[in-house]
Amino acid sequence: MASYPAHKISSPDMQVNVLQLTDLHLSMPKELFTADRTQSNCQQSFEQVVKQALDEDIRCDLILVTGDLVNQVNRTIYDHIFAVLQRTQIPFACIAGNHDVTDELYSERPFFQRELVPQPADPRLLNQHVIETDYWQILLLDSAVAGKVAGKVQNKDIEWLCSQLSTSNKPALLALHHHVLPMQSEWIDDHIAQNAEVFWQRISPFKHLSAIISGHTHQEQVRCRQGVTVYSTPSTCYQFKPYEDDFAYDKNARPGYRWLQLANNGSIVSWVKRLDT
């Protein structure tokens, strides 16, 4: 059984294969198979995604869960998620998203009429965490702000990140929940990491920061800025329609996940897979 959280990853072929899961949005087990079909589907698709990914013809060395594990903050839900991940016997690590530190009350109402209630993060969700491999460093930051949908990379976390990048010249992969590049979708970009420009200015000297992965946007994009490849990844549950200025679900997009192959020469290859029909 893999211990939590992961700290050190080695592989026989000097390549590390990372599975990114994000935006699970699970609710209390007793509610999963009631009239709330959306939540029922989130539970089912999460476990189906885990099974499908690990049945693929690729060795999985590390699972990263990049936030919004739950749709309501409750330890029982986290216990279930962690039990599912522990059963894989693969090292894993989880960070918080906005739903992990904020409950939305009156979810049947339009968003602007809902009440956002700050909640403490589950202690198993990580911040300022390093996972070392033989040739890479994987850095995890918490961008969630309690009581808010938008995120922020706190100044103390930017300082930590810059310090870590200064003390190690290994290629780096950064994982956080909120996107740090606009998605060209007005409503979701209202909920970006609010200090994204400061973040980019501070990391600009570190050319060995190779890639950033995030969740939050429930869609796939690959962008590049300052030589950094920036990946956004589909939810394991429902998806948002790309390039829409008003909120819209993408009813034709299936749940998904991302693979990242970190090579010993510092190169990275990544692709998204969708849940089979």
The answer to whether residue 244 is domain-embedded is yes
The answer to whether residue 4 is domain-embedded is no
The answer to whether residue 8 is domain-embedded is no
Amino acid at 214: S
The answer to whether residue 215 is domain-embedded is yes
Q: Identify the pLDDT of residue 37.
A: 44
The answer to whether residue 7 is domain-embedded is no
Could you tell me which of 209, 255, 272 has the C-alpha nearest to residue 46?
A: 255
The answer to whether residue 5 is domain-embedded is no
Q: Identify the pLDDT of residue 78.
A: 97
User: How many structural domains is the chain composed of?
Assistant: 1
The answer to whether residue 62 is domain-embedded is yes
Range of the domain at 33: 13-274
| Cα-based distances in Å from 23 to 160, 215, 237, 240 | 25, 6, 7, 12
Domain with 68 in it: what CATH number? 3.60.21.10
The answer to whether residue 3 is domain-embedded is no
| 10-residue stretch averages of pLDDT, the chain, 277 residues long | 88 96 87 46 94 98 98 96 97 98 77 83 98 98 97 98 97 98 96 97 98 98 98 98 94 97 97 93
